[in-house]
Structure formats: C-alpha cells, structure tokens
Amino acid sequence: MYNKYDKLKTIFVIYFTVSFSCIASAQHLSCSNLFSKTEIQLEIADKNFVDNKTPKNLLNQANQMLNDLFPLLQLPQKVTIHLSPLSSEPTMEYKPEQNLWNIYIGERYFFNPILKYPTHPIHSRAIFAHEFGHIAFNYSFLSKYNQFKEYDLLNAEYSKARKSFNQLHTPEGRPNPKHYQTSEEFDEAYQKYYALTRKTEKDMNFYSNLIELSEQKFANRKLTTLKRAYDELFADTIAVLFTSNPHAISEALKFTAPWNIYTRQLVTDAMVTNPKRFYKRTRQVQDKRDSTLNNRDFDSRNKEVSDDFDLIGSENYHSVFAETRDFLWSHFLKYSYYQNRKHIVVKVLLDVFLSEIDYYYNTILSAPTETKINQINIQEMNDRLQRALSQALTNI
C-alpha cells in the first residue's frame, strides 16, 4: 500500500494550502456538529510532468468535491495530495504514527510523458475522487474500529521489528517476499527463519515479541480483507457520483494504462527482444485488465466474479461488488432525484457499508474458531448489501 515515493529526488515542491468551509445543503440533515474545515495540500515532485493548469484545477476539484459530496461526513483535518513522479498505481496512505493522510497520483494521470501532452482532466478527476473516497471511508472506519487503528500501528511496529532484526543477522537464507504468494506465507517463513537464527537471550525475547505481533496481525487481517471490498466500492461510487458517469473509473484506468501511454517504447523494446513472449504477455495482461475493468464499471453486463472470497486475489477486492455497482447505477444513481442529493447518498452508503462490515465481523469473523474469510459467499454479500441499500436509499 505504501508508495515508494522518494523525497530526496524531489526537484520542485510547491505547496498550496486551501481551506474549505462546510456548506450544508442538505434539506433534512443539519451540518452543525460535523467537520468545518479540511485543509488540502498539494505537493508536486517534478513540474515537468504537470502542466500549468493542473494544480489550480485539482484544488478547484477538491473544493467542489468537498462541498458536493462530503458536507455530511467527518474528514481528516488535513489531506496531502502528492503528484508523484512514479508511474505506479494511485494510492491512499494513512500514517498512524504522525496521523498523516496522503494521496499519491502518478504523473501519467496528468501528463503523457512520451507524447508530451496533458491527459484529459476527466480521467484525473475520476482517479482523484476515487482516492479521496478512500480517505473519507477509512477516516470513518478507523473512528468506528479502534482496534484497526491499533492494527495499523501494529503493522508499523512489526515492520520496524523485522527491519532491526535484519540488521542484526546476515541475509543468507532470509526469505524473499517475491517467492511467496501471500503475506501470511511469507510471515510464516520469516518466523521459521527467526527461530533458526536466534542465539542470544536478547534474540529470544525479540523473537517471541515478534511472533506475538505477527499473530495479532493475522487476526486483524480478516477484518482488513473484508473491509477492502466495501472500501473499493465506496471509492468507485464517489468517482461515479463526482463525474456523473457510470464508466468513470473503467475509462480512466483504460486510457491511462501504462501500455496505452508507453505503447511506442514498450512495443519497440519487447518486440525486438522476444516477439513471441511479447504477444502472449500483452494478450494475458489485456484480458485480465479488461475483466477487472468490466467489474468496476457501473453500467456493464460483462461481469465475471467468483463465488468465494478466497478465489479473489488481493488485486480483486475491486470485483467483489461488481454486481452491486450495476444495481446502484440502474436503480438509483442515474436518476436526477439522486444526482441532486449526492451528499445524502454518500452518507447513506457509508452508514450501510459500515453496518454490513459490522454484521460480518461480529457474526463470523470475530469467531474464535477456524473461521476463514472464504466462508463468506460473494453472492450473499451482494444480496444483503442490495437489500440494505434499497431500504435506505428509497427513504431519502
């Protein structure tokens, strides 16, 4: 989740600090006891990848989004948007130790570095809204689940412990994360490595502390995995509401995909070195990408989803609620009644999602037995969610 954004390489850093007041436009709900100010800071690592209009546009978008979609939600006091020089996937980051909320968006969402022209702002708008949706969702989620806040701190503590252990011992035989399918398998291998390496009493204490941390981490991971599916649906819905376009996310991802932007360079390099492999790889990547994009579209009939949670890889948290995306658009979001009440829709969605997470967590996941995340059926998750959404959205 953490973006390897290297501050040392920063050439230009520009700060824009803008404050927005909460304007309550809800007819039935009051805004008085909710947030009053969110500060948005923008950091641009390399201005060669951003045209002159982008910073101003982005801050205007943030202003509009806060007022149109979020007047009824609690948000962090400060959010920093980093226009990252990397072409990596956009991401949201929460740093619990310093209570920092960051959004990283790669340069390719603003500027095509090969063809040297700005990317259409409609795509950066969707991506930005999606990441901001994550911020809003996680802020409320963390307020509700304090244990998860501890989990984030625990994660930080665990990686720190692992790092200092690495400094004490030789890298020989140390497991490499690349060789493991899941982080659980990697952690298990790592624990075995610790067990073999411990020699002194200091090592022994260190080891038992690490095992304990690691076990707590696994227990909390079930909640994280469950949460991610709702989190991604919420973020995509924010993008769709903000752009009033059911294809906002699938189109943004399609037209800013690295193989679209870097096509000339990649095609030339790969075709020369290994043409056979190039065609096979491109086909595979494209097929996988197309099915993921269809699953994230709010108006597409070509969805492919598995029944069990365990068949869904970590990249596919996005696909769990593929069916509910179409349901939301065709029954509610496409109608002007809901388009005119976006801020209430957002609040209703958040409340319903959190109560669904609560249901699964309290009735299934917190059970002390061997209950696994894959015992949760995806169709059932969709059915339950759609029933709850119908009820809540029909009454606004």
Min CB(318)–Zn ion separation in Å: 7
Min CB(129)–Zn ion separation in Å: 11
Nearest residue (CB) to Zn ion, 174 versus 228: 228
Min CB(381)–Zn ion separation in Å: 18
Of 78-86, 216-224, 233-241, 347-355: span binding Zn ion (CB under 5 A): 233-241
Min CB(24)–Zn ion separation in Å: 28
Of 11-19, 42-50, 232-240, 349-357: span binding Zn ion (CB under 5 A): 232-240
Min CB(133)–Zn ion separation in Å: 8
Of 120-128, 230-238, 269-277, 361-369: span binding Zn ion (CB under 5 A): 230-238
Number of residues lying near Zn ion (CB under 5 A): 1
Q: Which residue is nearest to Zn ion (CB)?
A: 235
Nearest residue (CB) to Zn ion, 226 versus 235: 235
Binding mask 166-205 for Zn ion (x = CB under 5 A): ----------------------------------------
Residue 226 C-alpha from the chain's centroid: 13
Of 44-52, 212-220, 235-243, 262-270: span binding Zn ion (CB under 5 A): 235-243
Nearest residue (CB) to Zn ion, 66 versus 129: 129
Nearest residue (CB) to Zn ion, 165 versus 234: 234
Min CB(48)–Zn ion separation in Å: 27
Of 81-89, 170-178, 210-218, 229-237: span binding Zn ion (CB under 5 A): 229-237
Min CB(90)–Zn ion separation in Å: 8
Nearest residue (CB) to Zn ion, 235 versus 378: 235
Where on the chain is the footprint of Zn ion (CB under 5 A)?
235
